[in-house]
Amino acid sequence: MLIIKDILIKKFLENLHNEGKSAVSIKNYKSDISHFLAWAVLKLKSFGNYAESVVEMVPFVNRNFFNEYKYYMVKNNVKTKTVNRRLSSLRSFSHFLYSQHIIDGDFMQGIQNVGIGVAVNVQEKSKDIVNGFRESLIKNEKISDNTVKNYVSDVRSFLAWVNQKGELPNGV
């Protein structure tokens, strides 16, 4: 993928080396940033935007975008430590971009780590809600399997949206 060839990423990794970071740490930073950029490219393509470098992505990146990335990782069962390491790497990268005057502000400011167990709780509660809804549809409604699948998909999308906004309904 051409993303990792981005000159800004290379400069960032060189900066980490100059700061005395270990080879393993630099490898993790590179991996974490590559993971985010691969996700971001696909996400932006889904909106019809084709950004191929960090500079091209900057106009589309904001706090909500990073919260969506964080939720994506939680939803896909990424270990809490890995989520937090990736967020930490992105904070460092954001700070570097800001110090190089590539961005006007630190786009990771205010993006919090996932608490130990919090990611699992949100995911488990969402699964419980969806499973309960599915069972209710099957048991109490006389609708086709495809309709059940569509309704369940809509509920998942709604819960993802609510979680992304950071506001869960009462009782969830």
Residue range 29-84, pLDDT digits in tens = 999 999 999 999 898 888 888 887 777 887 887 888 888 899 899 888 899 899 99
**How far does CA 62 lie from the centroid of its chain?**
12
Return the minimum-mean-pLDDT range out of 3-17, 57-71, 122-136: 122-136
Question: With contact defined as beta carbons under 8 Å apart, do 80 and 116 qualify?
Answer: yes
Mean pLDDT on 128-146: 80
What is the three-class DSSP state of 141? coil
Helical pair 145-165 and 118-140, crossing angle rounded to 10 deg: 150
Domain boundaries, the chain: 2-99, 118-165
pLDDT tops 70 at residue 124: no
CA distances from 135 to 130, 145, 152 (A): 9, 12, 10
In angstroms, the CA 7 to CA 36 distance is 16
**Torsions phi, psi for 147 (to 5 deg):** -65, -40
Both tokens of residue 146?
């495809």
Question: With contact defined as beta carbons under 8 Å apart, do 52 and 42 qualify?
Answer: no
| Confidence at 96, pLDDT banded by 50, 70, 90 | very high
| Confidence at 164, pLDDT banded by 50, 70, 90 | low
The whole-number pLDDT of residue 73 equals 93
The percentage of residues in the chain with a pLDDT greater than 90, rounded to a whole number, is: 28
Instruction: Compare 47 and 93 and report the one with higher pLDDT.
Output: 93
Mean pLDDT on 146-170: 70
- CATH fold group of domain 2-99: DNA polymerase; domain 1 (1.10.150)
